[in-house]
Chain A
Amino acid sequence: MFLNPGNVLSWATFFPLAGAAAIVVLLAVRYVANLPKKLVDDGARLIALLASGLSLVAAVAAWRMYDPTDTGVQLTHHFVWIRSFNIEYFVGTDGLSISMVLLSGLISFVATIASMPWWSGAKAAEMAGMVEHDHGHGDDAHHPKHFSVRMVPGYMVMLLLLQTGMMGTFVALDMFLFYVFWEVMLLPMYFLIGVWGGPRKEYAAIKFFLYTLAGSVLMLLAIIGIYYNSAPAMLADGTLSSGHTFNIIELGRQAAKGQFLNAAPILGIAFTKLAFVALFIGFAIKIPMFPFHTWLPDAHVEAPTPISVILAGVLLKMGIYGILRFNYPILPDATAWAAHAMAVFGVINIVYAAFVCLGQKDLKKLIAYSSVSHMGFSLLGMAAMTPAGISGAVLNLFTHGIISPMLFLIVGVIYDRAHHREIEKFGGLASELPEYTAIMGLAFFASLGLPGLAGFIAEFMVFTGAFPVFTGYTIISATAVIITAAYYLWAIHRMFLGKLNPVYKGYPDLNWRERISLYPLAAIAIVLGFYPQAILGVINRSLHLIIQNIRPL
């Protein structure tokens, strides 16, 4: 078999990179052989589809190879990379990351599909004789300004680079490697928003980049601090490292023995607390946690649809993932110290963002803020450090990673047709776009936590897990079920129900590209609604192991 447990994660990570390289080669050939632009564009698209498809295949293979009964790190690929600094190439997965690997592969592929201008509704409608072309509205994929036809090879290269960065971040088990992937992910995102984005793209891209970079700097400092306080460890080739180690698993082991408790305090503050806060802020920006969340609405509003999909579906998960990967095992005592604060921030995220959603006028902003609200559940759940809480927190990452891409795709559908996202300006769309309305209803209800759809299970588990530890906070955050229902239903009401606004007459319903990207996610949302154990059964054991080392204060 081509994919084996020793390399499957590396393949999943580097297939997109290979695709990006292939596109660069194609570009070089273009200048040599003077190929027509359309051929190169379509070639780049095909390569991107293929590369991220292969990455998805590898991710699914990794999911299948993963043994849920084993709580250790699996599917490792491990060798020494830079010996003088004890840096290793160390990828592997445990229950925490395996669901994220799957999610990352899936959402990347969906985003790649959503980046294609093919199967456009304009053509379909033309064939059906429903839309007159003179009116100009309808599918806008062929509009020269549309992101999916502008500088296609460059876009695809960036998209693939981003995918490599994401997958690498989830599988890296060496701090340095993690940081490299983390930064690799950042840069393409900057270009994707800044070049292919909306009207205020430069502002949004810069804001996103600087904000997250500020976080990474703190993170880097913490990583270096942890490195210099660590003890030597075995390297991949059996030799002892010189002095310190970047190996996350090994650092966790050392931490369990109290390695970092005796580290020299900095400015009179215990090293573990300082390292915790630095790492936490770095990750909290990515979550995004109140009050570091304001880059998100801007980035989402300006980013093209597939980038919003990736941003909401995968990138937001890295904050929580990073905290669970670094802070929890490496700094358990500081984690116990900070648990209460995390819960408070979680509650603020949930309730505050829900109210902000209620006041939004821009559909995409509404959904962006709903992401902020939903990530609060993860914070609350993991702060509780109960088995149900932490499983719920990670399940929430997965389910939100399924639902929010749907929501952003849905916004993209209407934006491509109407060229605006003002909720108030729509009205009665259900009469004109029944299929779209149905899938939108499904996504909205999944997001508002209707039982039988994925979102509810995670919320429920977080509530159940957090309740005995933070009773009052849990009750406060449960009020979000009311607000969430209110803002989603109100949005449905204003956009889809009532009399059809005649402006939107003759709009084509979903086209095949949109169907291909939306229906699989919808199916997963329904299946997970009734059988979340498919995920939980795999991730439970590792997660419960993570919290066992943390003794609540």
Chain B
Amino acid sequence: MEHANLQVVGHAAEELGRLAVHHVSYLWLIPLFPLVGAAINALVGWKLQRMFGKKIVHRIAVTAMLAAFAVALRAFWQILHLPAEERFLQDTLWNVLTAGRVTVDLAFALDPLSMMMTLVVTGIGTLIHVFSIGYMADEPAYWRFFSYLNLFIFAMLLLVMGDNFAVMFFGWEGVGLASYLLIAFWYTDPEKAKAGMKAFVANRFGDFGFIAGLLLLFWALGGAWTPRDGGLLRNTDYQPAAELNAVAPAATAAEADALAPRVEGVKVGPTLNFRELRDQVVIEATGVKERLVHTHIWGVSILALIGILLFVGAMGKSAQLPLYVWLPDAMAGPTPVSALIHAATMVTAGVYMVARLNFLFALSPSAMGWVALIGAATAIFAASIGFFQYDIKKVLAYSTVSQLGFMFIGVGVGAYWAGTYHLLTHAFFKATLFLGSGSVILGCHHEQDMRKMGGLKKYMPITRWTYLLACIAIAGFPVMNGFYSKDEILFKAFTSRHLELFGVATPWLGPAIFVIGIVAATGTAFYMYRSYYMTFTGEYRGNSGHHDEHNVDPHAAVAAKSSALSHSVHADDGAAHAFGATSHAPAHGALADTPVHAAAVHAHGAHGHDAGHATAHDDDAAHGHGHHGGTPHESPWTMTLVLVLLAAGSFLTLFLGIPTLWSHAAPALEHWLEPALPAVEVASWRFHEVPHALEWMFQGIGVLAATVGWVAARALYKDGKSEVPARLKARFEGAWTVVYNKYYVDELYAFAVLRPAVSFARALSRFDGTVIDGLVNFVGAVGRTLGRLDAAIDKYLVDGLVNAVAQATWGIGRQMRHVQTGRIQTYLYGALGGALVVVLLNFLIS
């Protein structure tokens, strides 16, 4: 056996085999439809919108989503009918690149985990597209919005369906781009544009970690780092295992495949492919697991380093400490975007990534410890900020950060299915909450401050009920889905004794995280109910006080010349819109009348494209856009329908997670995900066993925490009557200010990272302009000086000599000319003199 040295006698070699792969040829359609939708709307959307109205734009987008969802369901159907161990659909399109050992296919794969994600993305994505029809009805750049939204879905599908790291990273960055575009959707507002930039750059910090972790993993598979000379930068101590690094470099995919070494039919060595990675790690006979566990680089276990670096990527995308700062700012985007990207799908990508690599994380308790610890810290930190925010979307944003922390506790302690389940339940209830807040914001004429809401249950019954149900879910009462996932996570956290930090076993970490989690859960219940009571109970406070936040109004903010589409100018203060032959819908003015009318208008989302009609509405529009006064109103049916469906989903998904304690069977989702989560078989640790009675007690504690939070919020904020909050605020002014200002983390970053970086850049720029370029110019100047010197020598020495000869000749001639008088007699003297000389000489010589 040529790879004998790789063989390690495993104690459980037979436990897991290679993944059985079913090749299908339609998976690419799932991301294709949103891509086509995005492309159509991006390239000709504005034309279509002008010609056929807004209807055509959202029809294209929603149709693309429905088609993707339908194909996803088809795949789900197929996967459902396969035996549990064979649930893996794969579809390769083409080879993206091959060079040496690096080979990347554009390929999609669906296993139970990614299938779940795909259904969430396409399903909830479709619903949010429908919601946006009503929410964005007044937006002139309607086509742009839907194009971005479809683009996001495309990228998200790449992320979850990618068969390898590269495709996942394509999606990973693609969603970042879509997020950037959508946060900065109303780009004329510099603050919103800045929020988009912040999101992208903060994510890039994460991507840096992701790339570093990915590279480390890739090469760790193909060799070993052994400490040799302690060289830190030039890593001379990387020892490629010759048999794992094909000597001949591959130039094409087929070559790469042929050259890859195999142990017992399993491809081993560097790979970017999830399935090949999983196979070689989980199949003990390959010895890859042993090698990885025992490899160290720079004195650290390489698996811990890989895990932590990859988690840094997740920190960025999933807004964990310390990279969470972009998510609250991301609320600058339209509310459906917040629901879709910044709650339900994109921000869970980090959780998904950790779950997808469960078999790697499970091998490194150190990495797990860090993931869980950061998750717990984020959960409580963000929850505490959520306490005192007044902007309803900010509350939800911090809540999202906090809930993502819970998910990371789940995947961190090794309860992968629980973390994933919380991802699913959170997607439903948080989407409901966000869309509910969107409905409220629209109903209150783009008001986001909860202090100016209140009493909305009278005006917006459907929104109110769905929002309340979602609150129940997130608070963790057993009637909705949130309880089941959160409870499972915290229970698993308590029973984990295997976590490590810095390679040191920390059995106390699990219980500690449990305690933190319970506190955070109490806080969650409190601030969510606070937001509910402030918004929906008491008296409507919107008519008093004046509205100066026009900058949150999308209509006023967008002075959009959406590609020559609407050339008319929107007055800044929103008081008067110039309705020429533009496509801007004045629907908002009409909205203020009656809910019924409003619904009708919104149902015809593209109402206003008709120029004649628009002119007829001029008067309405003029005062309607002032947004002063007017009672709140329920949103159109497209929006409430979506709310109801999502709330229903928040209820129904609870059946996926009925605990074993109740039903004596594994929860449905755990069972479903099992083939995709081989961590349990790979890991050397197990969850601590606790008696059933204790388990009941934990569930009781969870409900108690929710109740405490709810009761406190009810006492303080119901109907807005209690004076206690104001008194408390006055009493603890200092602490309140710090928390209200988010612990000044943004300011800290600006001070510690941003400004030094920019100053450094400026300094380097000056250095380059003065020192480096100065050196060049100095060399030039030296050259010039030498040249001048040379010229002087040439002029005065060399040329001087020549001139001296000429000068002498000329001088002599000048003197001699005096002899020539022109008088014959002078010459005659000469001749006589000469003769005399001759005569004298004659005498002298003889």
Contacts and interface: CB of A to CB of B under 8 A. Distances in A.
A284 to B, nearest CB: 14
A123 B117 CA distance: 52
Contact of A493 (B188, B194, B564, B775): B194
Interface stretch (B203-211, B411-419, B648-656, B823-831): B203-211
A468 B223 contact: yes
Contacts of A211: 776
Interface in A504-543: 509, 530-533, 536-537, 540-541
Nearest to A538: B251
B102 A464 contact: yes
B97 A469 contact: no
A36 B204 CA distance: 58
Contact of A352 (B170, B232, B560, B764): B764
Nearest to B562: A434
A493 B184 CA distance: 10
Interface string B186-207: 0111100110010011001101
Given A451-B169, A544-B249, A467 B100 contact: no
B218 interface: yes
B106 interface: yes
B498 interface: no
Interface in B246-291: 249-253
A463 B174 CA distance: 20
B766 interface: yes
Contacts of A499: 188, 190, 559
Residues of B contacting A: mostly: helix
Nearest to B99: A391
B763 interface: yes
B34 to A, nearest CB: 14
B560 A497 contact: no
Nearest to B231: A472
B166 interface: yes
Interface string B148-190: 0000000000000000001001101110010010001001111
B548 to A, nearest CB: 18
B251 A452 contact: no
Interface stretch (B234-242, B738-746, B812-820): B234-242
A261 interface: no
A232 interface: no
B772 A291 contact: yes
A295 B99 CA distance: 34
A182 interface: no
Interface in B773-828: 773, 775-776, 780
A211 B780 CA distance: 10
B99 A468 contact: no
Nearest to A529: B170
A497 B564 CA distance: 17
Contact of B102 (A461, A474, A478, A492): A461
Interface in A314-370: 340, 343, 352, 355-360
B760 interface: yes
A485 B98 contact: no
B100 A388 contact: yes
Given A359-B762, A493-B197, A530-B106, A473 B215 contact: no
Contact of B765 (A356, A476, A479, A490): A356
Contact of A497 (B106, B187, B561): B187
Contacts of B757: 358, 483, 486
Nearest to B225: A471
A531 B96 contact: yes
A460 interface: yes
Given A358-B761, A540-B99, A445 B208 contact: no
B761 A355 contact: yes
B215 A474 contact: yes
Contacts of A463: 211, 215
Contacts of B763: 359
A500 B188 contact: yes
Contacts of A207: 776, 780
A359 B94 contact: no
Q: Which of B96, B188, B562, B768 has most chain A Cβ within 10 Å?
A: B768
A496 B201 contact: no
B816 to A, nearest CB: 51
B486 interface: no
Q: Which of B94, B222, B249 has most chain A Cβ within 10 Å?
A: B249
B233 interface: yes
A235 interface: no
B752 interface: no
A432 interface: yes
B758 interface: yes
A358 B187 CA distance: 22
B823 to A, nearest CB: 61
B660 to A, nearest CB: 41
B201 A486 contact: yes
A488 B432 CA distance: 36
B193 A493 contact: yes
Interface in B431-454: none
A386 B297 CA distance: 21
B19 interface: no
Interface string A256-299: 00000000000000000000000000000000001101110010
Contacts of B166: 451, 460
Given A358-B757, A509-B564, A450 B177 contact: yes
Contacts of A340: 234
Contacts of B205: 482
A217 interface: no
Contacts of B773: 294, 298
Contacts of A295: 776
A468 B240 contact: yes
Contacts of A493: 190, 193-194, 197
A409 to B, nearest CB: 20
A118 interface: no
B54 to A, nearest CB: 18
Contact of B235 (A294, A356, A468, A481): A468
A386 B100 contact: yes
A400 to B, nearest CB: 16
B666 interface: no
Contacts of B561: 431-432, 434
A498 interface: yes
A450 B173 contact: yes
B218 A464 contact: yes
B208 A479 contact: yes
Interface string A407-440: 0000000000000000000001011101100100
Contacts of B102: 387-388, 461, 464-465
Nearest to A431: B561
Contacts of A532: 96-97
B247 to A, nearest CB: 10
A481 B218 CA distance: 19
A392 interface: yes
Given A457-B97, A478-B212, A489 B197 contact: yes
A452 B174 contact: yes
B663 interface: no
A355 B764 contact: yes
B97 A533 contact: yes
Contacts of A388: 99-102
10 contacts: A387-B250, A388-B99, A428-B188, A452-B174, A467-B215, A482-B204, A482-B207, A533-B98, A536-B97, A540-B249
Interface of A: 68, 207, 210-211, 290-291, 293-295, 298, 340, 343, 352, 355-360, 386-388, 391-392, 428, 430-432, 434-435, 438, 445, 450-452, 456-457, 460-461, 463-465, 467-476, 478-479, 481-483, 485-487, 489-490, 492-493, 496-500, 509, 530-533, 536-537, 540-541, 544
Nearest 3 CB-CB pairings of A with B: A387-B100, A359-B765, A358-B761
Given A468-B235, A533-B252, 13 more contacts: A207-B780, A356-B768, A359-B758, A391-B99, A434-B561, A451-B172, A452-B170, A464-B218, A471-B233, A471-B235, A481-B207, A489-B197, A544-B249
